[in-house]
Structure 1
Amino acid sequence: MSGKIFNRIKAVLAEKQKTNKWLAETLDMNINTVSKWCTNKIQPTIETLFAIAEALNVEARELLVERKKS
């Protein structure tokens, strides 16, 4: 799993002009956990992904990297 990108949380935070700290406080999560999501070191649970999407006012699918095969 190392080196692969599975989520776009960091990109969406930047698009929304929000910080890791803001997301951590909004979700009542540890800032280190949020940082690991943003660097794709760990992935949030499905439930947490939906909570992140709600906090950022986006669809959950916008937080995921599309994996289409041609």
Structure 2
Amino acid sequence: MNRIKEVLEQKGIKQTWLAEKLGKSYNMVNAYVQNRQQPRLETLLEIAVILDVDVKDLIVSNKHS
């Protein structure tokens, strides 16, 4: 699971803009945002750089408190 959707909403950024910056199709980015598909680690790191966030902010922890 990822938090790309939440981060995009917090920053007021559209999926189309992110898709353009990543050089990926809107459909691929939408699949990431809707958690239908998970990006490769390299892509996740690239998204973090583009959105200016820590990569940890883009993923949901698997640890339960």
TM-score of the superposed pair, with normalisation by structure 1: 0.89
Secondary structure, aligned partner of 2:44 = helix
Question: Which residue of the other structure, out of 17, 40, 44, is the alignment partner of 1:45?
Answer: 40
- Compare the two structures and name the one with the higher helix fraction: 2
Is 2:43 the counterpart of 1:18? Answer: no
Runs of 4+ in 1 over 3 A off after TM superposition: none
Q: Distance in 1 between matches of 2:42 and 2:61?
A: 19
Is 2:51 the counterpart of 1:68? Answer: no
1:10-60 Cα distance to aligned partner (Å, 9 max, x none): 000011110100100011110000000000000000000000000000010
Q: Distance in 2 between matches of 1:15 and 1:69?
A: 24
Structure 2, unmatched stretches of 5+, are none
Identity of aligned residues (%): 43
CA RMSD of aligned residues (A): 0.8
Q: Distance in 2 between matches of 1:56 and 1:69?
A: 26
TM-score of the superposed pair, with normalisation by structure 2: 0.95
